[in-house]
Amino acid sequence: MKFAQYDVVRLVAIRRPLTESDDAFNLCRPVVGDVVTIVEIYSTPPGYELECSDGSGTTQWLMAFAPNEIELELVK
């Protein structure tokens, strides 16, 4: 499925290990089930910048992933 910038999606799978450096500027780590916004789509190399926010709008984490590192589903 092709996604668009600002689509709201659910993180269905994470296929790469997350490291300590992934937490450097994030309040928490991504977990399966997080509902996130695609804030940027990269073409070279391909990837997505994903942002997860809490109910008040505070960013919990912001990370880039290659398409093969994650599985997403569109939230309707």
The DSSP symbol for 28 reads: S
Rounded Cα distance, 6 and 39, in Å: 5
Indicate the pTM of the whole model. 0.91
> DSSP letter at 29?
-
> For residue range 31-75, what is the model confidence (pLDDT) as tens digits?
999 999 999 999 999 999 999 999 899 999 999 999 999 999 999
CA-based angle 43:19:32, to the nearest 5? Answer: 70
pLDDT at 33: 98
How do the domains of the chain map onto residue ranges? 8-74
